[in-house]
Amino acid sequence: MKLLHYILPLAALLAIVSCSEDEAYFDKRKLYSTDSIYVNLTLDLSNNSITRANPNGGEEGDGWEYGYTNENTLHDFCVYVLDGNNDINSPDNTSFAGYRYFTKDEVRKADSVHQHFLNLKDYYPEQVVKDVTTYRFAIPILKSQTNEEPTGFRFIVVANCGNQQQYATTLGALRNARPEKTWTPATTSNPASWFVMTNENDQYHAMKGTSEFNPYNLHVTIERMAARIDYDPTGCTLISGTPRYEVKGVTPGNEVLAHLYVDRMAIVNGSQQPSYFFKRVADDINGTNLKYLGDETPIARGEATNYVIDPYSTQKTTPPNNELLTTLYGNSRISNAAALVGSDKPTLSLTSNTFPYTLGYVNENTFDAPQAWSYYATGVVVQCRYAPQKHFYTAYNATTDVLTEGAYELNQTFYMVEPNTPTIDESQRLYFKNEADAVAYATNTAKKHFGKVVKYENGVCYYFTYMRHSNKVEVIHNTMEFGIVRNNIYRFKLLPNTGPGTPTPDPRHPEELKARVYVKKWLSVEHPIIYV
């Protein structure tokens, strides 16, 4: 979610507190002052939900949508003030002109409440009503390093992360800082909450010509540091809350050859290490021409041309090592996939197949293009039950080459015979009740049968999908093709037309994916406006 801030007709007070006579002779080399700016802060939280999707990767993602209630909530926040002569990309030793922390109690105390109508007619049939809450506060402003009165300021906001005053020493200290956690994980009684939010861009705000009755409208746009992974069950039929898909072959047309029941899902290689407070982009994974709060720059077809850098990006350019993988992914490592969807884990129980199901949240996870493999890429393991509706046989006569058809019972163990051909259509796979019959058919070279036999215990199978960020690419393993970037929703739909998955959780390379992945930006909502 980006928090976009709209101009509201609120009065604001600009007051520069006069220096005392003694302070008029302060040492110009020192950086202290009693000057302050007084600010009205307007927070706008939306309880509405709309969605727009245009599958593209990169800076704008696939359209946008409102976050859930807890994803929108502001609990507390810090404001760092830069003299307008500096910006987010200034040297590390740049000093802040001011700092102010707002506690949870301060955030709850509103001076006034207003209503604002956001016109979303292009995406929503009616205007959306928002409750707007206004706060008043003061921030002490230090003199600039040149002892010149600043003509403007830049505001940096870190929300929902407690008092971060220890990073108010220099800009470099704040840019290199990382929160202990990017969100508060869900419990059995509470969903995920307290999402850390920081600046999405860097804007200069001029101070000349403003007054109490003509304040300058200062906009600060902040976004979540987390990313979200959703399962979109569109296209399924719910059977007692369990998604069921129809599997059809290329030939003979629309005939239903099997049913696929989706039981469990889990995120694999979900980064458990928070990234830097502010997004970093660079020409390559090693940080060439590094920019803070820079934009991703995809070309027309959605292919990225630069990288987002997380604190571990360069370490992932070397072969994987257990220490790094454990540090990054903990128990969500892909090697732990079987346990993540084990029988002790709850099954899916959906109430609607028209709304996405959130699997969880992850931190930024980026790497060089050649490292787009199952060791590092964030993905999802899906546990299903496959139920053949056609080509299921209870017996086989190897002499006459006659198959006896039968009816498959859900949860029954079966043996699949898959032909040894470069491309396989689902209609070419055969399923047997008995292993002996499957082996006899697959090895009957006299009848020109050549295939491999795979056992599916209780019909259980597994699929893997990896999250694409630069979604529309023509070359596998391109820049940012696979990766996780803050403030994006990675939503996938299952396309079950490739037969049963692997009988055990078998991590496959990203180019073997059998799912459609969408990348979505969380919606920008007005939050906050600061009048200076």
Instruction: Return phi, psi of residue 518, to 5°.
Output: -115, 145
Q: Is the pLDDT of residue 43 over 50?
A: no
Task: Provide the residue range defining the domain that includes 415.
Answer: 389-457
Query: Which is higher by pLDDT, 219 or 80?
Result: 80
Measured CA to CA, the distance from residue 223 to residue 64 in angstroms comes to 13
Could you say which DSSP state residue 297 is in?
A: -
Assess whether 426 and 286 both reside in one domain. no
Could you say which DSSP state residue 99 is in?
A: E
Instruction: Identify the burial level of 8 via C-beta atoms within 10 angstroms of its C-beta, where 0-12 means exposed, 13-18 middle and 19 or more buried.
Output: middle
Assess whether 352 and 467 both reside in one domain. yes
- Token duo for residue 208: 């000349």
Assess whether 363 and 275 both reside in one domain. yes
CATH number at residue 202: 2.60.40.2580
As a whole number, mean pLDDT of residues 237-256 equals 86
Of 457, 478, 510, the one marking the end of a domain is 457
Mean pLDDT of the chain: 77
Alpha helices in 81-122 (DSSP H): 104-108
- Give the per-residue pLDDT at 188: 80
CATH number at residue 238: 2.60.40.3690
Assess whether 260 and 235 both reside in one domain. yes
Q: Is the pLDDT of residue 144 over 50?
A: no
Residue owning tokens 């190897």: 398
pLDDT band at 510 (very low <50, low <70, confident <90, very high): low
Measured CA to CA, the distance from residue 287 to residue 185 in angstroms comes to 31
- Give the per-residue pLDDT at 39: 41
Q: Is the pLDDT of residue 114 over 70?
A: no
Measured CA to CA, the distance from residue 263 to residue 347 in angstroms comes to 5
Q: How many CB atoms lie within 10 A of CB 335?
A: 15
Assess whether 177 and 235 both reside in one domain. no
SS3 sequence of 146-214: CCCCCCEEEEEEEECCCCCHHHCCCHHHHHCCCCCCCCECCCCCCCCECCCEEECCCCCEECCCCCCCC
When divided into structural domains, the chain yields a total of 3
Of 12-21, 119-128, 252-261, 380-389, where does the model show the most confidence? 380-389
Assess whether 427 and 483 both reside in one domain. no
Percent of the chain with pLDDT over 90: 44
Assess whether 210 and 236 both reside in one domain. no
Assess whether 264 and 356 both reside in one domain. yes
- Give the per-residue pLDDT at 249: 77
Query: Which is higher by pLDDT, 442 or 114?
Result: 442
Q: Which of 66-70, 321-325, 416-420, 490-494 has the lowest mean pLDDT?
A: 66-70
Q: 15-27 pLDDT, tens per residue?
A: 222 222 222 222 2
pLDDT band at 299 (very low <50, low <70, confident <90, very high): confident
Q: 457-493 pLDDT, tens per residue?
A: 999 999 988 888 886 666 677 888 889 999 888 888 8
Q: Which of 82-91, 129-138, 171-180 has the lowest mean pLDDT?
A: 129-138
Assess whether 93 and 172 both reside in one domain. yes
Distance from CA of residue 304 to its chain's centroid? Answer: 17
Measured CA to CA, the distance from residue 497 to residue 257 in angstroms comes to 9
Of 457, 472, 494, the one marking the end of a domain is 457
Assess whether 244 and 284 both reside in one domain. yes
As a whole number, mean pLDDT of residues 120-137 equals 38
- Give the per-residue pLDDT at 410: 97
Q: 424-434 pLDDT, tens per residue?
A: 777 789 999 99
Q: 409-422 pLDDT, tens per residue?
A: 999 999 999 888 76
The one-letter amino acid code at 45 reads L
Query: Which is higher by pLDDT, 88 or 156?
Result: 88
Of 412, 435, 457, the one marking the end of a domain is 457
pTM, two decimal places: 0.82
Assess whether 100 and 7 both reside in one domain. yes
Measured CA to CA, the distance from residue 343 to residue 359 in angstroms comes to 17
Assess whether 210 and 76 both reside in one domain. yes
Contacts of 420 (CB under 8 A, 6+ apart): 450, 451, 452
